């Protein structure tokens, strides 16, 4: 079946540093999504990408949909303590119904 | 309601007992999904309901797991004869069901099987 490989699995950074994480897939997705999960909560959508090559920003977050439609990255600039959490990439299948999730990147920010 | 709600938020049960987990999707959303998240892991798809169509059960790990959705709204996930490996967070999500749209997640039910 489809699988998403997300890296790194965890990051421990200093407040103010930039962060980059990425996902790769063995197959093509038509939509890539990035979610953040805070402790004890469900995932919340951060950014959605719909077109190959698309670069989208949301405040300090920037994400790109790879031109091959098999990869995506998420950058966080000038990290702050509230950025702590688990970030998941997810690919939406061609029918637009099923999400496949990456394993997550656990981000820890040192004040 | 404003978002997806789930109950209970936490459930502790003994091995061999049955449990029921409830999900109330966002009003008007026709698509509903159940996922399982083991400690420190990603989300594992379990089952998908879309309107009145037959559910996609391809992610259910065993016949001890079942789910239903009554009246096209509330859904219940049932785990029979629970095992310790069933311990996880069970997340529900809903979407408008028109295809290609965002799934909105509930806070999850944390299940611990002793």
C-beta atoms of A42 and B40 within 8 A: no
Chain B residues touching residue A101 (CB < 8 angstroms): 35, 42-43
Q: How far is CA B62 from the centre of its chain?
A: 15
Residues B109 and B90: beta-carbon distance below 8 Å: yes
Give B9-38 pLDDT, tens digit per residue.
999 999 999 999 999 999 989 899 999 998
Least confident of B69-73, B79-83, B108-112: B69-73
Q: What is the 3-state secondary structure (H, E, C) of chain A?
A: CCCEEEECCEEEEECCCCEEEEEEECCCCCEEEEEEECCCCCCEEEEEECCCCCEEEECCEEEEECCCCCEEEEEECCCCHHHCEEEEEEEECCCCCCEEECCCEEEEEEC
pLDDT (0 to 100) of residue B100: 57
pLDDT digits (tens, 9 = 90+) for B53-80: 889 898 999 999 999 998 879 999 999 9
What is the pLDDT tens value at each position of chain A, 111 positions in all? 457 899 999 999 999 999 999 999 988 988 899 999 998 889 999 999 989 999 999 999 999 999 999 999 999 999 999 999 999 999 987 766 778 899 999 999 998
Task: Using an 8 Å CB-CB cutoff, list chain B residues near A34.
Answer: none
Cα A41 to Cα A36, A68, A69, B5, B70, distances in angstroms:
10, 33, 29, 11, 25
Higher pLDDT, B40 or A45: A45
Question: What local confidence, expressed as pLDDT, does residue B74 receive?
Answer: 95
CA distance, residue B104 to nearest chain A CA (Å): 7
The conformation of residue B57, written as its DSSP 8-state character, comes to -
Q: Give chain A's radius of gyration (CA, Å).
A: 13
Count of beta carbons in the 10 Å neighbourhood of residue B54: 7
- Asked if B99's CB is within 8 angstroms of A98's CB, the reply is no
Residue B114 pLDDT level (bands cut at 50, 70, 90): very high
Q: What is the pLDDT of residue A1?
A: 47
Beta-carbon count within 10 A of B69 CB: 20
Contact A106 B40 (CB under 8 A): yes
């Amino acid at each position: 079946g489809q699988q998403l490989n997300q890296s790194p699995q965890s990051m421990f950074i200093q407040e103010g540093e930039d962060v980059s994480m990425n996902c790769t897939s063995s197959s093509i997705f038509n939509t890539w999504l990035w979610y953040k999960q805070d402790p004890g909560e469900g995932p919340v959508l951060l950014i959605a990408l719909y077109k190959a090559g698309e670069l989208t920003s949301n405040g300090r977050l920037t994400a790109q949909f790879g031109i091959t439609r098999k990869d995506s990255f998420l950058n966080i600039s000038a990290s702050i303590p509230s950025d702590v959490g688990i970030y998941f990439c997810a690919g939406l299948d061609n029918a637009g119904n099923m999400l496949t999730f990456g394993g997550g990147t656990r981000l820890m920010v040192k004040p | 309601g404003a978002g997806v709600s789930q109950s209970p938020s936490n459930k502790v049960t003994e091995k061999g007992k049955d449990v029921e987990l409830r999900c109330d999707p966002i009003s008007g959303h026709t698509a509903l999904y159940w996922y399982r998240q083991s400690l420190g892991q990603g989300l594992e798809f379990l089952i998908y309901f879309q309107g009145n169509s037959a559910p996609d059960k391809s992610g259910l790990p065993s016949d001890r797991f079942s789910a239903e959705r009554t009246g096209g709204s509330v859904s219940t996930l049932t785990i029979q004869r629970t095992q310790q490996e069933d311990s996880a967070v069970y997340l529900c999500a809903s979407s408008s069901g028109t295809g290609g749209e965002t799934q909105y997640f509930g806070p999850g039910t944390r299940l611990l099987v002793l």
